[in-house]
Structure 1
Amino acid sequence: MKRMHQPALTTNSTNNEDDCGLVDDPRYEPEPCPYCGRMLKHKAYSLFGKLFGTHLERCNCPGAVAERERLYQEQLKKQQEEELRRKMERIEWLFQQSRLGKRFRARVFETFEIRDYNKKAFEIALDYAKNFDMYKEKGEGLFITGGYGVGKTHLAAAITNYLIRNKMATVIFGNVTTLLGRLRSAYSDDSEYEETQILKELYDVDLLVIDDLGKEKPTPWVEEKLYNVINERYENYRPIIVTSNLELEEIERRLETCGGAIVSRIIEMCRGVKIVGPDFRKEKIL
Structure 2
Amino acid sequence: MISSTNKTVPEVREYRCNICKDEEGYIERLKNSDDPFDYVEIWRDCECVKERVSERLMKSSKITPEFQKKTFGNFTQEGRPPLVQDAYKAAYNYVRDLDDKNVPNKSIALLGRPGCGKTHLLMAISNNLIAKRTQVLYFPFVEGFNEIKSNLDSLETRIHQMQQAQVLYIDDLFKGRKEVTDFVIEQVFAIINYRYLEKKPVLISSEKTIAGLCEIDEGIGSRINEMCRDYKVMLQGGIELNYRLQ
Q: Distance in 2 between matches of 1:161 and 1:137?
A: 13
Task: Answer yes or no: is 1:157 the counterpart of 2:117.
Answer: no
Task: Answer yes or no: is 1:173 the counterpart of 2:143.
Answer: no
Q: In structure 2, what is the equivalent of residue 260 of structure 1? A: 218
Question: With CA pairs under 8 Å and 6+ residues apart, which has the higher RCO, 1 or 2?
Answer: 2
Q: In structure 2, what is the equivalent of residue 113 of structure 1? A: 76
- The runs of 5 or more residues in structure 2 that have no matched partner are 1-31, 39-43
Aligned length: 198
- The runs of 5 or more residues in structure 1 that have no matched partner are 1-44, 46-53, 58-78, 189-193
Q: Distance in 1 between matches of 2:37 and 2:195?
A: 60
Q: In structure 2, what is the equivalent of residue 69 of structure 1? A: none
Structure 1 residues 126 and 137 mapped into 2: Cα distance closer, same or farther (>3 Å)?
A: closer
Q: Distance in 2 between matches of 1:269 and 1:219?
A: 24
TM-score normalised by length of structure 1: 0.61
Amino acid in the other structure paired with 1:203: Q
Task: Answer yes or no: is 1:83 the counterpart of 2:47.
Answer: yes
Q: In structure 2, what is the equivalent of residue 40 of structure 1? A: none
Q: Is the 8 A contact 1:209 1:240 kept in 2?
A: yes
Q: Distance in 2 between matches of 1:56 and 1:162?
A: 46
Q: In structure 2, what is the equivalent of residue 235 of structure 1? A: 197
Q: In structure 2, what is the equivalent of residue 246 of structure 1? A: 208
- Please list the CA deviations of residues 117-167 of structure 1 after superposition, one character each: whole Å capped at 9, or x if unmatched: 2222212111111323379564x21111131211111111000000001x2
Structural RMSD (CA): 2.8
SS at match of 2:66: helix
Q: Distance in 1 between matches of 2:204 and 2:97?
A: 18
SS at match of 1:132: coil
Q: Is the 8 A contact 1:141 1:270 kept in 2?
A: yes
Greater Rg by CA: 1
Q: Distance in 1 between matches of 2:221 and 2:89?
A: 25
2:170 to 197, 202, 210: 210
Identify, as 1 or 2, the structure richer in helix.
1
- Aligned counterparts, 1:34-73, within 5 A: none
- Please list the CA deviations of residues 23-80 of structure 1 after superposition, one character each: whole Å capped at 9, or x if unmatched: xxxxxxxxxxxxxxxxxxxxxx9xxxxxxxx8569xxxxxxxxxxxxxxxxxxxxx78
Q: Is the 8 A contact 1:183 1:199 kept in 2?
A: no
Task: Answer yes or no: is 1:142 the counterpart of 2:105.
Answer: no
Q: Distance in 1 between matches of 2:148 and 2:98?
A: 28
